[in-house]
Amino acid sequence: MLELLALGDTGWGDELLRGAGMTVIVAVLSFVTGVAIGMTGAGAKLSGSLLLRAVAEIYTTVARGVPELLIIYLFAFGLNPIAQNIAALVGYTERIDFDPFTIGVVAVATISGAYSTEVLRGAILTIPRGQIEAARAVGMHRWLVFRRIMLPQVMRFALPGLGNVWQLTLKDTALVSVIPLTELMRAAFRASGSTREPFIFLLAAYALYLVMTSFSTVAFERAERHFGRGVRRA
Amino acid sequence: MDLELMVRSAPAIAAGLPMTLGLVVLSLLIGFVLAVVIAQMRLSRYPVLSRFAAGYVFVIRGGPLLLQFYFIYYGLSQFRPFWEGIGAWPVLREAFWCAVIALALNTAAYTSEIIRGGILSVPHGSVEAARACGMSRLLVFRRIVLPIAFRQALPAYGNEVILMVKATSLASIITIMEMTGIAKKLISQTFAVYEVFIVAGAIYLLINFLLTRVVKYAEWRLTPYLRERPAPASTAAAP
């Protein structure tokens, strides 16, 4: 049975590994985009503007309250038409066709971003208001306050939460297999279909996911230690 | 945006609601019982039990739910003669029961960690007091530890319930027509992506909103001692 997992032409091992590579790429891109969305979203949620707050609130409620799969379908079927409509507004009338990769990253980033928004909002709120006032009083402008005072602390407070978001994102990438994008899940499924030996391939794919999630746990622990250096623990 | 289409598609999508709720309720019930057992094993003095429980939680939480669905639905069916031999095939043949098994096994892992946290938060003094009153171990667990632990774990469990509602959508991948499956079918038939998404999404949001209300209410009911006491008239009148 194990020869089915061989690398090269005789087995499906290399297809699975390539799928795992695609999973990592989609997960990293979605996560990073999600954190960027999260920064914006957290800023919007904490801003004085009622409109911004409402938009951010609707976004996080919908993206976290609706099944991930439904959101994937929304982007799979809906991203091209809406892009077409927007493009038509500026006079671009040619056909727009996003590939499954782009659709997958946009969809997973949208989900990931909603969770990041909440994590980052919580982290920003833990910074004592006095620090920001003090920095402003010293004469730092807004951007400098953000970069020097807020960001280093937000990173530290948000890391455990972002670690959870990363794990969610990594596992959510399995859903883009329905788009269809050949990441680890789909690679395993295709191998199962052509050999009629689903057990071994699904098991191998599962093992690869476990390797990825365990590795991430260690990496985030390291990062937490790095950003927590110089802080005495309770 | 086609309002009429939204109105027309609403009953079709809502027809999947009983299936969605059925999956949620069944898998939560089975999952909860499993979770209590796993949490107990995890906290057991015997390394075999606690290692097994820790391994189970690690494996389930470390992989995507979709793969767990596939594994149970497709992966296990490869050994059909074996399942027929032990009489489990009638269950594993049905996509519905495969979905329930996958969801229950999944939520059991997450819930066991929630319960474990709850159990660890039970003050040791309460357990000692109950033992001193002469309660047996099982009675202490049932009457003292579990209620306190559950109360403590309720907010986290509420989140898990909502995750479960969302997770049932994956059952559509293994041919079960619950709400997401119906929504997908409607989208590919009518190409009315946004209308169908809004209707289906609204139903999911409504369920989750109601569930958070129920959890909030349960929390309030279970913590009477945390509520502000009505001020007695005499103290209120004191200068």
Residues B28 and B140 in one domain: yes
Region of A32 on the Ramachandran plot (φ > 0 left; ψ -120 to 50 alpha; else beta): alpha
The average confidence (pLDDT) of chain B is 92
Candidates A73, A198, A209; nearest CB to B63: A209
Rounded to a whole number of angstroms, the distance from the CA of A66 to the nearest CA of chain B is: 6
- Taken in order of first residue, the domains within chain A and their CATH numbers are 2-227 (1.10.3720.10)
At residue A167 the predicted structure's pLDDT band, cuts being 50, 70 and 90, is very high
pLDDT tens readout for residues B131-162: 999 999 999 999 999 888 888 999 999 999 99
Is the N-terminal amide bond of A180 cis, ω within 30° of 0? yes
pLDDT of residue B112: 96
Residues of A in contact with B75 (CB under 8 A): 192, 198-199, 202-203
Query: Any chain B CB within 8 A of the CB of A114?
Result: no
Provide φ and ψ at B5, rounded to 5°.
Answer: -65, -35
Rounded average pLDDT over A154-171 = 94
Secondary structure of residue A1 in the 3-state scheme: coil
pLDDT of residue A106: 96
Count residue pairs from A and B with Cβ separation < 8 A: 111
Residues B87 and B158 in one domain: yes
Q: What is the token pair recorded at A93?
A: 């009338």
A65/B205 Cβ within 8 A: yes
Domain count of chain B? 2
Secondary structure of residue B113 in the 3-state scheme: helix
pLDDT tens readout for residues A60-95: 999 999 999 999 999 999 998 888 888 888 888 888
Residues B35 and B140 in one domain: yes
Query: Any chain A CB within 8 A of the CB of B161?
Result: no
Q: What is the token pair recorded at A145?
A: 């306050």
Residues B9 and B113 in one domain: no
pLDDT tens readout for residues B81-98: 999 999 889 888 899 999
Residues B10 and B29 in one domain: no
Going B229 to B232 to B236 to B239, the CA torsion angle's sign is negative
B238 in any annotated domain: no
Domain containing residue B169: CATH number = 1.10.3720.10
Helical residues (DSSP H) of chain B, grouped into ranges:
3-14, 17-42, 47-62, 65-70, 80-85, 89-92, 95-120, 124-132, 137-140, 146-167, 179-190, 193-222, 233-237
Residues B165 and B56 in one domain: yes
Q: Distances from the Cα of B59 to the Cαs of A13, A160, B63, B105, B220, in angstroms?
A: 21, 20, 7, 11, 35
B190 in any annotated domain: yes
How far apart, in whole angstroms, are the C-alpha atoms of residue B236 and residue A30?
58
Going A122 to B162 to B36 to A207, the CA torsion angle's sign is negative
Residues of A in contact with B55 (CB under 8 A): none
Query: Any chain B CB within 8 A of the CB of A68?
Result: yes
The residue range of the domain holding B28 is 23-175
Residues B56 and B88 in one domain: yes
pLDDT of residue A217: 94
Residues B73 and B118 in one domain: yes
Q: Which residue of A has its CA nearest to B63?
A: A209
Residues of A in contact with B213 (CB under 8 A): none
Q: Which of B72, B69, B76 is nearest to B181 (CA)?
A: B69
Q: Which of B167, B176, B173 is nearest to B204 (CA)?
A: B167
How far apart, in whole angstroms, are the C-alpha atoms of residue A33 and residue A35?
5
Residues B188 and B78 in one domain: no
CB of A111 within 8 A of CB of A191?
no
B239 in any annotated domain: no
pLDDT tens readout for residues B36-80: 999 999 999 999 999 999 999 999 999 999 999 999 999 998 888
Helical residues (DSSP H) of chain A, grouped into ranges:
13-45, 50-65, 68-89, 100-125, 129-138, 142-144, 151-172, 184-195, 198-227
How far apart, in whole angstroms, are the C-alpha atoms of residue B104 and residue B31?
4
Residues B54 and B12 in one domain: no
pLDDT tens readout for residues B175-224: 999 999 999 999 999 888 999 999 999 999 999 999 999 999 998 988 88
Instruction: Please say which residue of B175, B198, B213 terminates a domain.
Output: B175
pLDDT of residue A92: 83
Residues B51 and B103 in one domain: yes
pLDDT of B165 over the 90 cut: yes
B232 in any annotated domain: no
Query: Any chain A CB within 8 A of the CB of B220?
Result: no
Rounded average pLDDT over A6-32 = 91
Give percent of chain B with pLDDT exceeding 70. Answer: 97
Q: Distances from the Cα of B97 to the Cαs of A49, A68, B72, B219, in angstroms?
A: 49, 22, 10, 32
B233 in any annotated domain: no
pLDDT of residue B87: 87
Residues B12 and B28 in one domain: no
At residue B233 the predicted structure's pLDDT band, cuts being 50, 70 and 90, is low
